[in-house]
Amino acid sequence: MTKFQSFDIFTIREQLIEKIKNCTELETEEIDQCLEITRNSDKSDFTLQLGKIAKQKPQKVKNIMIKEDDSLIKQVIKQGLAHHITLNKQKISEQIVQSILKSEIFDYDKNASNCNYYGSTNKGNGETAIIEHSSPNIAKKFHAGHLRTSIIGNSLVQLYKFLNFNVVRINHLGDWGKQFGLVGIGYDKYGDEKLLKEDPIKHLLDVYIKINQDLEKEVEILEKERSEAVANQEIFEDVKKYERLDKLSNIDKEAKLYFSNLEKGCKKEVEQWSHFRQLSLDQYSKLYKILNIEFDDQLGESYYALQGLDQLLNDADIDEKGNYIYKLGTLGNCVVKKENGSTLYSSRDIAAIEYRIKTYKPKIIVYVVASQQEVHFKRLFAIANGEYGYKNRAGDCKLVHIGFGMVKGFSTRKGNLVFLEDIINEAKDAMHETMKENVEKYSKIEDSDNTALQLAVSALIIQDLSAKRIKDYNFDIKRYTSYEGHTGPYLQYTHCRLVSIQKKNENITPLYDSNCLSGQALSEQISEISLSGNSLNENVYSLIFNLSKFTMVLDEFYETFEPCKLVTYLMSLSKQINSLFQSLRVFGVEGNLAKSRLAVFESARIIICNGMKLLGIVPLERM
């Protein structure tokens, strides 16, 4: 366990359980089963749903009375078997703020077990979690689908590290298969060294498109010959030879021969493949740097294609064509090796699981891949878990596929965008234009180009993570680069305002000095705020109480693999914070009162900052 203990919503819940136990005949386990954190905090903070145990314990729940007190329980409203409990937030606010101020800003490079992170529940306990995400095909440009897997995967990487997992970040490159044979023969025909140096991936993609067009033309000719054969009523055998047109294409044969030579280790093919692979990696690394993404392992499919598959093949069946297969019942058959000796995506994935379990000894392997691959992963996990005879089982390692929907409508002022670098540049230009609208502020930004870039990336990340990952969404650059609404720039704006308050009041005694918040000082000072009437008190207490829910939100994020849980929370928190900026002044206010207000804002900044980092966003200090 980490030495730091957050005073958060779960700690408050434990105290409430103890209070209820002391004034009722209910046992701790019974209260724990019934006590819920209320989603709609306008009604109450907790609800004791005694209906859950009423049938088993009718006498215990019949005349339950929960006592209100001065320290924790402010009000209890009974509705049937439900007891709606409102807390005395003024009494718990100081403990929440003190706890947050004693915590640290999240740093991925630090060992989480030695850090004081508010909201970290130490779920990992130092065990290893593998997150596989991004995984583009080499010699092809980053597209919208790669944006989703990269961003969702990176948010899971950050969360798992925050929760004290030893995280291994894997980029399982698509660097193997017949499609690379097409790239190889295409480059031999259309390649240009000068163009390759200028923009490697663009040129290789152009080459790939051209050779595919040639392939399509060959197939069209063969299709025409087939139609003529049928029309002339030639004998069945002559017609049958045209059924697999792609196999008769000369280009197809050349591509398969190229890939076969690559698998055999022929010098020309291997050297060319290695060169193209490295050029692609160099280009991808630039995009990953922009997206604040790093990897620990980028071995790719090619590495696992060369791994021993003896056990996998020994435990497989062989069909009438000579393919090695696993019969998976309702999931159908899964081919793991073709009759010509070629490995497949499935066999390479099995080999990858074996390697990762042996090398890293993970507790869990998470695959962040589009939902269209759901059947593939069901088959993969069924084999790996030993359900159909495969003896090299994954054992206690949990295998999880995290699917996601599609991005639609990539259309902006410059037309239809397909590639990620174009999307980023478009968003960056939009942010630059918005920033320049305030000439005075713009002149004070030290690195306006990087600021615009980080705002653009923030916009893309929040756009992608705002809804449940399984849902498709429409790309709308104008909407998500706005400073208004649930956007990345709005979140950055909130953080910058909080940083500004801190910097303008550096003369105030440091908040990390425990003497500033000793005794009942904070609660008393907050209760004295009357700048906008008595309602302000409750608004401040409500904000502080919601800060304590950070732990709960991260718990839900972890259990559901849904980053939108955190996005929704941060946006709600930002709205609360922004509503207090005008009424809760710090600068020019009497000393102790200024300290208490600054403490509230600094606590909010820590939560907002860490929340942004967990989403893969770099928090800005000026914009």
pLDDT score at 363: 97
Contact 89, 71 (CB under 8 A): no
Task: Report the C-alpha gap between 317 and 239 in whole angstroms.
Answer: 32
**Which range (132-136, 160-164, 412-416) has the least confidence?**
412-416
Taking residues 399-424, what's their average pLDDT?
A: 76
The residues near 288 (Cβ < 8 Å, ≥ 6 apart) are 134, 150, 294, 295
pLDDT score at 231: 67
* 251-260, 388-397, 455-464: range with highest mean pLDDT: 455-464
Band of residue 466 on the pLDDT scale cut at 50, 70, 90: very high
Angle at 556 between CA 602 and CA 570, to 5 degrees: 35
Full strand arrangement of the beta sheet holding 333-337: 317-318, 324-327, 333-337
Strand 415-416 relative to strand 411-412, pairing: antiparallel
CA neighbor of 326 nearest in space, from 337, 314, 338, 334 = 334
Taking residues 224-245, what's their average pLDDT?
A: 61
Contact 170, 304 (CB under 8 A): no
Residue 3 burial (CB count, 10 A): 8
Q: How many alpha carbons fall within 13 Å on the CB side of residue 64? A: 30
pLDDT score at 190: 97
Q: What is the DSSP string of 331-361?
A: G-EEEEE-TTS-B-HHHHHHHHHHHHHHHH-
Strand 128-132 relative to strand 364-368, pairing: parallel
pLDDT of residue 272 exceeding 90: yes
3-class DSSP state for residue 394?
coil
604 to 78, 497, 529, 578, 607: CA distances (angstroms): 33, 11, 18, 11, 5
Amino acid identity of residue 482, one-letter, is S
Task: Render the burial of 438-456: b for 16+ CB within 10 Å, e for the rest.
Answer: eeeeeeeeeebeebbbbbb
Task: Report the C-alpha gap between 493 and 505 in whole angstroms.
Answer: 19
What are the pLDDT digits (tens) for 156-168?
999 999 999 999 9
CA neighbor of 234 nearest in space, from 221, 245, 225, 222 = 225
Domains of the chain by start residue, with CATH: 9-87 (3.30.1360.70), 177-265 (no CATH)
- Tokens standing for 390? 């495969």
- Tokens standing for 131? 């997150």
Task: Report the C-alpha gap between 556 and 567 in whole angstroms.
Answer: 12
pLDDT score at 535: 38
Task: Report the C-alpha gap between 556 and 10 in whole angstroms.
Answer: 13
Task: Render the burial of 576-593: b for 16+ CB within 10 Å, e for the rest.
Answer: bbeebeeebebeebeebb
pLDDT score at 465: 97
**What DSSP designation does 407 have?**
E
pLDDT of residue 330 exceeding 80: yes
Greatest alpha-carbon span in the chain: 101
What kind and span of H or E run contains 402? strand 398-402
Task: Report the C-alpha gap between 561 and 492 in whole angstroms.
Answer: 24
99 to 9, 162, 496, 547: CA distances (angstroms): 12, 17, 22, 11
Task: Report the C-alpha gap between 131 and 561 in whole angstroms.
Answer: 12
Q: What is the DSSP string of 541-584?
A: HHHHHHHTTHHHHHHHHHHHT-THHHHHHHHHHHHHHHHHTTTS
Taking residues 246-250, what's their average pLDDT?
A: 67
To the nearest whole percent, how much of the chain has pLDDT over 90? 59
End-to-end CA distance of the chain: 38
- Mean per-residue pLDDT of the chain: 87
**What DSSP designation does 67 have?**
P
Task: Report the C-alpha gap between 395 and 363 in whole angstroms.
Answer: 10
- Tokens standing for 525? 């000072």
Taking residues 484-489, what's their average pLDDT?
A: 94
Taking residues 320-347, what's their average pLDDT?
A: 90
What are the pLDDT digits (tens) for 488-525?
999 999 999 999 999 988 887 555 444 444 334 444 44
Taking residues 339-353, what's their average pLDDT?
A: 88
Q: In the block, which residue shows the tokens 């060319």?
A: 272
What are the pLDDT digits (tens) for 277-318?
999 999 999 999 999 999 999 999 999 887 778 889 999 999
pLDDT score at 193: 94
pLDDT score at 515: 43
How many residues are listed for the chain in this entry? 623
pLDDT score at 531: 32
Contact 463, 480 (CB under 8 A): yes
What kind and span of H or E run contains 77? strand 73-79
Band of residue 34 on the pLDDT scale cut at 50, 70, 90: very high
What are the pLDDT digits (tens) for 162-211?
999 999 999 999 998 888 899 999 999 999 999 999 999 989 999 999 99
The residues near 60 (Cβ < 8 Å, ≥ 6 apart) are 24, 25, 26, 30, 53
Residue scoring higher pLDDT (339 or 533): 339
CA neighbor of 423 nearest in space, from 376, 392, 456 = 456
What are the pLDDT digits (tens) for 84-114?
999 988 888 888 998 999 899 999 999 898 8
pLDDT score at 234: 56
Handedness of CA 498, 540, 117, 103 (dihedral sign): positive
The 3 state secondary structure assigned to 474-530 is ECCHHHHCCCCCCCHHHHHHHHHHHHHHHHHCCCCCCCCCHHHHCCCHHHHHHHCCC
pLDDT score at 347: 92
3-class DSSP state for residue 240?
helix
Give the predicted TM-score (pTM) of the model: 0.89
pLDDT of residue 530 exceeding 90: no
